[in-house]
Amino acid sequence: MKKMICTSLLGLLVVPVTTLAQELWITIGSDGYQSLKKNSALMAKEALDAQGERNGITILKVNEDNLSDISTIMHNSHNRCGGFMVHDSLEEAQNAQLSPLANTVSSIVSYTIDNADVVNALQAEISEANIRTTITSLSNFTNRYYTTSTGVDAAEWIRDKWQALTSSRSDASVQLYSHSWAQPSVILTIQGQTNPDEIVVLGAHLDSTVGWSTGEGTRAPGADDDASGIATLTDVVNAIVATGYKPAKTLAFMGYAAEEVGLRGSDDIASDYKSQNKNVVGVMQLDMTNYYGSNSDIYIIGDYTNSSQNAFLKDLVQTYQGNLSVGTTTCGYACSDHASWHDQGFAASFPFEASFNGSNPYIHTINDTLANSGGDANHAVKFGKLAAAYVAELAKGAIGDDPGPDPDPDPDPGQEQTESFSGSVSRGGEEHYGPFSVTPGTSFVADMTGTYDADLYVRFGAAPTWRYYDCRPYDNGSAENCTLQVPTGDSEAYIMVRGYSRQTSSFELDVTYTPQ
């Protein structure tokens, strides 16, 4: 069993250090194995020890140091993220060979569509701006690779984000899930009200890569692959909190580590859940949701997924987003984390941004940016609404009788007001605020104090980045102020706080403006 580390015990987290590369077993589609054999550099290392082929799946014994090479070859030859699964033993790999192309475990699950009030309430809260802001925050990490310090920082940022979103919910908890490498996975659990032993899983991977060369300092923004998936899940969580929705079944939102090197994070978790006999009634994977590359709006991956649940997803789109078109496509063996759950016999589905051949051509490069997905998150909104419908119709439940006061009520127009925020940022980490609806020609003041050294950025009309902003004070320490007049023609202001010091900087932020 893998160790679950609660947020209250984070100071005890010890990251394991591996000094010797480990020998591992992988399963890979036999078409992928043929591509590996054609790579002279990999073969020169004598890196592949074939252990047998069955059901179109080949077992290889490999050195851990070669995983990034194999991942790069699979991306270049087959456009698959990962494209193979890592196992700790030959026995595990042999069991994985028996995984069918499509399972029917969901025959024990009753798929009904009868919770429209909850679906409509959740979908109304899905926000392009929220998703876009989270994509920007995640892609601003230098990289999120599974062995790097910024990869760990990104996981902790997600942990902090999810914890902040659900801080008002006594039924919610956020945990880091440790692995044998540096980067943890992140799990947010919202306890079911009437059937807590039945679990609905929604996942996305939090790591990023540009292939074999990825390391400390390598730029790998991964805006679509897969900051978009994490951002989409995050906005569903926000919708759950905003509406006061209480699921009948337990919800588990997961940010998986190390997907790009063999689905390693999700494999650990799915294996763990299986060994504990946890009753996972459905799994949805969101890996790349924001590149609109094909004719249909949403594509359902048809191989190594559950056919009954796939049909359920199509019905959800037709019922609640009837203006959208749905297609089907395939992606091959182990193309994303849904395969880890499928391999353990759970019903898993993978709605995707495009046909597989029409998906984002920029992934695994420094050009996987929000700008190259159109500069907005409009396509991802479709997947956020699908995920919201999936949650409400599979986990059931209802909107709480009293969700409490609006935590962010709309201000009275024309009256100056001040909003206060607090947070913390590690080096290179970012927190984004806004958009603030502002009146042109009025004053906009952002005043920050805090510990160590964090940098303040303000921009009108779009979220700031470390390159693009209207104000950045360049002061030492975290005491910084931006006082600006809102330009004519602008009605939105955005703020970013970015960590500079090696120590984590805490900050208090007061924003004073006249709402429109």
> Which DSSP string corresponds to 386-455?
HHHHHHHHHS--EE-S---S-SSPPPPTTS-EEEEEEEEE-BT-EEEEEEEEB-TTSEEEEEEEESS-EE
In this prediction the pTM is 0.67
Q: Are 21 and 63 in contact (CB under 8 A)?
A: yes
pLDDT band of residue 25 (cuts 50, 70, 90) is confident
Query: Is the model more confident about 109 or about 232?
Result: 232
Q: Are 288 and 359 in contact (CB under 8 A)?
A: yes
What is residue 79's predicted lDDT score, i.e. its pLDDT?
A: 59
The catalytic residue among 179, 205, 338, 432 is: 205
What is residue 133's predicted lDDT score, i.e. its pLDDT?
A: 94
Domain regions of the chain by residue span: 23-97, 105-399, 417-513
Looking up tokens 């310090």, which residue turns up? Answer: 149
What is residue 243's predicted lDDT score, i.e. its pLDDT?
A: 97
The catalytic residue among 75, 87, 338, 364 is: 364
pLDDT band of residue 455 (cuts 50, 70, 90) is very high
Q: Are 55 and 31 in contact (CB under 8 A)?
A: no
The catalytic residue among 64, 160, 224, 225 is: 225
pLDDT band of residue 14 (cuts 50, 70, 90) is very low
Residue 232 has pLDDT above 50, yes or no: yes
What is residue 422's predicted lDDT score, i.e. its pLDDT?
A: 86
The catalytic residue among 259, 268, 297, 455 is: 259
Residue 402 has pLDDT above 70, yes or no: no
pLDDT band of residue 504 (cuts 50, 70, 90) is confident
pLDDT band of residue 88 (cuts 50, 70, 90) is confident
The catalytic residue among 287, 297, 431, 453 is: 287
Q: For residue range 264-303, list pLDDT tens digits in order.
A: 999 999 999 999 999 999 999 999 999 999 999 999 999 8
What is residue 80's predicted lDDT score, i.e. its pLDDT?
A: 56
pLDDT band of residue 407 (cuts 50, 70, 90) is very low
**510 tagged catalytic:** no
**338 tagged catalytic:** no
Quick one: which of 69, 78, 79 has its CA closest to 291?
79
The catalytic residue among 64, 153, 207, 260 is: 260
Residue 71 has pLDDT above 90, yes or no: no
Report helix, strand or coil for 107: helix
What is residue 53's predicted lDDT score, i.e. its pLDDT?
A: 73
Residue 509 has pLDDT above 50, yes or no: yes
**364 tagged catalytic:** yes
The CATH class given to the 23-97 domain equals alpha beta
CATH of range 105-399; options 3.40.630.10, 3.50.50.60, 3.40.50.300, 3.90.550.10: 3.40.630.10
**480 tagged catalytic:** no
Window from 31-45, 81-95, 161-175 with minimum mean pLDDT? 31-45
Average pLDDT over residues 21-48: 68
What is residue 427's predicted lDDT score, i.e. its pLDDT?
A: 83
Residue 34 has pLDDT above 90, yes or no: no
* Cα(101)–Cα(265) distance, integer angstroms: 22
CATH of range 417-513; options 3.10.110.10, 3.40.50.970, 1.25.40.10, 2.60.120.380: 2.60.120.380
Residue 45 has pLDDT above 90, yes or no: no
Average pLDDT over residues 248-257: 98
* Cα(457)–Cα(219) distance, integer angstroms: 22
What is residue 17's predicted lDDT score, i.e. its pLDDT?
A: 37
Query: Is the model more confident about 215 or about 466?
Result: 215
Mean pLDDT over each residue of the chain, to the nearest integer: 86
Q: What backbone torsions phi and psi does residue 25 show, to the nearest 5 degrees?
A: -110, 140
Residue 87 has pLDDT above 50, yes or no: yes
Q: Are 308 and 59 in contact (CB under 8 A)?
A: no
**260 tagged catalytic:** yes
